[in-house]
């Protein structure tokens, strides 16, 4: 049995790059799919609203851990060879899309009704209304909650350890199994998560205050 030292700390620290990479994949993929979900939720089509609502209810109404299990262990049942990278990325993208879609749907609907009516008065179709009038304004409202949700994505990557994806938490488990010093090991893991997430939390809070001041004027 070895003791916790610099090589062990470095191993956990190096795993942070995979946490950040997985978070980036989840955020970018979730943002693309989430925007589609938000547009479907605010669409004039009842079918599109219904499909997007079912998607949101499924992925918001079930635990992310269960979604990871279903994708990782369910894919081989259908003859698909899937590795932890793909399974973790897919689960986090789908889960993030459900939450980002609802966040952005709220931001879209927060645009004053007069803006929608003005766009309709100009005979703009739905796509043009969203692209030229609604989305640019909704984007400003959505910045703060989106940055705040990014923190949740980063913390959510820790669940990928359960399917063998070696990010910060999994690296901590490996080192703990070798050193049997859980207090030190997982304190380091927690500290690394804090260093990554705290600046984003501060940024989101500042953006919210700035937005509140602009609305108060």
120-179: pLDDT as tens digits: 777 777 778 888 888 888 998 999 999 999 999 999 999 999 999 999 999 999 999 999
Is residue 31, in this structure, part of any structural domain at all? yes
- The total number of structural domains in the chain stands at 1
Is residue 61, in this structure, part of any structural domain at all? yes
Domain housing 164? 6-216
Q: Are 165 and 86 in contact (CB under 8 A)?
A: no
Is residue 1, in this structure, part of any structural domain at all? no
Q: What is the pLDDT of residue 94?
A: 97
Is residue 128, in this structure, part of any structural domain at all? yes
Q: What is the pLDDT of residue 26?
A: 97
Q: Rounded CA gap, 134 and 208, in Å?
A: 20
Is residue 124, in this structure, part of any structural domain at all? yes
For every one of its 217 residues, what pLDDT tens digit does the chain have, with 9 covering 90 and above?
Answer: 788 999 999 999 999 999 999 999 999 999 999 999 999 998 888 999 999 999 999 999 999 999 999 999 998 888 888 899 999 999 999 999 999 999 999 999 988 888 777 777 777 777 788 888 888 889 989 999 999 999 999 999 999 999 999 999 999 999 999 999 999 999 999 999 999 999 999 999 998 888 877 766 6
Residues 6 or more apart whose Cβ sits within 8 Å of residue 190: none
CATH, residue 125: 1.10.3720.10
Is residue 99, in this structure, part of any structural domain at all? yes
The DSSP element (H or E) to which 96 belongs, if any, is: helix 84-109
**How does DSSP classify residue 81?**
-
Residues 6 or more apart whose Cβ sits within 8 Å of residue 109: 42
Is residue 162, in this structure, part of any structural domain at all? yes
Is residue 210, in this structure, part of any structural domain at all? yes
């Amino acid at each position: 049995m070895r003791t916790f030292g610099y090589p062990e700390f470095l191993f956990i620290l190096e795993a942070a790059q995979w946490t950040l990479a997985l978070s980036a994949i989840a955020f970018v993929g979730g943002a693309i799919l989430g925007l589609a979900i938000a547009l479907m939720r605010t669409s004039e089509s009842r079918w599109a609203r219904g499909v997007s609502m079912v998607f949101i209810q499924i992925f918001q109404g079930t635990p992310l851990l269960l979604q990871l299990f279903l994708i990782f262990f369910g894919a081989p049942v259908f003859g698909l060879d899937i590795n932890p990278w793909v399974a973790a990325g897919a689960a986090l993208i789908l889960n993030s899309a459900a939450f980002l879609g609802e966040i952005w749907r709220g931001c879209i609907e927060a645009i004053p009704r007069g803006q929608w009516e003005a766009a309709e008065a100009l005979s703009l179709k739905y796509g043009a209304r969203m692209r030229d009038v609604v989305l640019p304004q909704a984007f400003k409202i959505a910045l703060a909650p989106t940055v705040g949700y990014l923190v949740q994505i980063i913390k959510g990557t820790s669940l990928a350890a359960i399917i063998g994806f070696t990010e910060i938490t999994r690296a901590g488990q490996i080192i703990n199994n070798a050193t049997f010093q859980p207090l030190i090991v997982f304190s380091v893991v927690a500290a690394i998560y804090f260093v990554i997430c705290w600046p984003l939390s501060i940024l989101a809070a500042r953006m919210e205050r700035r937005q509140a001041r602009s609305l108060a004027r």
